[in-house]
Copies of this chain bind each other. A is one copy, B any other.
Amino acid sequence: MAITLKEVAERAGVSRSAVSRTFTDGASVSFKMRRKVEKAARELGYSPNALASSLTTGRTKLIGLVSNNFHNPIFLQVFDLFTRGLQERGLRPLLVNLTNELDPEHSVRMLQQYSVDGVVVASSTLPPGFSRVFRDAGVPVVHSFGRSTATPQVHVVGIDNVECGRMAARELVSRGYEHVAFLGGPKPATSTQDRYSGFFSEMALHPNIKASYSFAHDYSFDAGRHKMLSLLKENPAQAYFCGDDVLSIGALSAIQDSGYSCPEDIGIIGLNDMEMSGWENINLTTIHQPIQQIVHSSIELMVAMLDDPDRYPESRIFACSIIERGTLRPAP
């Protein structure tokens, strides 16, 4: 068993409170006392038990990091940024994998049992109601990559997916395509819905351009490939705005395998700008989502909420931009 406060106190010949105080900054300890205690602690190899102290302080510095997206490579980057960012601030990410978990209440209970100081929900496919459950349970929550609304009920940090849809549509229009299409991710995801509505609101301004749509059942390579293979069998569009990059890459592979070429026969524009999209043998034109900013901002917001749990919910939206690579033909 590890060394405890009491043992240090005995060895240093002081009270337990004295030891406790030398290890809490801001406490009143004389220089001599501090030295005595630190010496004893060093000799014994003592380090305070964070969980025991959390009992009285009410702070664990544990942050639930909840996600359901463990198949999209962009989330590796998201986890990297979150874990490092949290660690730098002395917070500890307790990772919760929601895959196959149908009952959000279950995760809420679990995280409450561990007295997490806050929860970050990182997902674009979870319904807004999910993060609200945490809020209702009195746990500070930030929904990263969530849907931002004018009247947010929990803190949301992300992008304006409607605007991204418009942006993609404008880009395809400007390239002179006469038949464009939306190939979305999972239909129920808010990100899919918003990109869809943005895309078609823009296309409505161009009634002479044909615009169609379909959905892949997943933000995944296989789903994109599969859907595109079937689209290619019947009158495909000239260019597709795909749900995200990994879906786009699936679609690209389908295009190539079916004897078409991209961007000559069919154009593709993705969304996310994940690292891999820049690889020379993929070279995907895509809309850049500023992941780093989103994560940093989420952490900042979380830290702010730890001080003020009743902070008024806000939406933080970051601008996206088109990264031109090789999967759209040049404007005529």
Contact = CB atoms under 8 A, between A and B. Distances in A.
A280 interface: yes
A180 interface: no
Interface stretch (A43-51, A203-211, A235-243, A297-305): A43-51
A95 B281 CA distance: 33
A48 B83 contact: no
A54 interface: yes
A97 B81 CA distance: 9
Contact of A253 (B221, B225, B280): B280
Interface size bracket, A side: 35 or more
Nearest to A93: B95
A100 to B, nearest CB: 7
B55 A52 contact: yes
A140 to B, nearest CB: 14
Contact of A60 (B51, B70, B75, B99): B51
B221 A279 contact: yes
Nearest to A77: B70
A76 B69 CA distance: 10
A47 B106 CA distance: 11
Contact of A76 (B49, B70, B115): B70
A113 interface: yes
A77 B69 CA distance: 11
A135 to B, nearest CB: 15
Contacts of A281: 249, 252-253, 256-257, 281-282
A214 interface: no
A171 B234 CA distance: 42
A213 interface: no
Interface in A251-291: 252-254, 256-257, 275-276, 279-282
A2 interface: yes
A113 B221 contact: no
Nearest to A61: B114
A99 B114 contact: no
Interface in A83-118: 83-84, 87, 92-97, 99-100, 109-110, 112-115
Contacts of A280: 225, 253-254, 256-257
Interface in A193-249: 221, 225, 249
Interface of A: 1-2, 47-52, 54-55, 58, 60, 62, 65, 70-71, 73, 75-77, 79-80, 83-84, 87, 92-97, 99-100, 109-110, 112-115, 138, 221, 225, 249-250, 252-254, 256-257, 275-276, 279-282
Given A70-B77, A92-B110, 17 more contacts: A1-B58, A2-B112, A48-B113, A49-B113, A50-B113, A51-B51, A51-B115, A65-B95, A70-B80, A73-B276, A76-B79, A79-B95, A83-B95, A84-B100, A92-B94, A92-B114, A250-B279
23 contacts: A2-B138, A47-B112, A48-B113, A49-B113, A50-B113, A51-B55, A51-B115, A62-B94, A70-B76, A70-B83, A73-B276, A76-B76, A83-B96, A92-B110, A93-B94, A94-B95, A221-B276, A225-B280, A250-B279, A252-B281, A253-B279, A256-B280, A281-B281
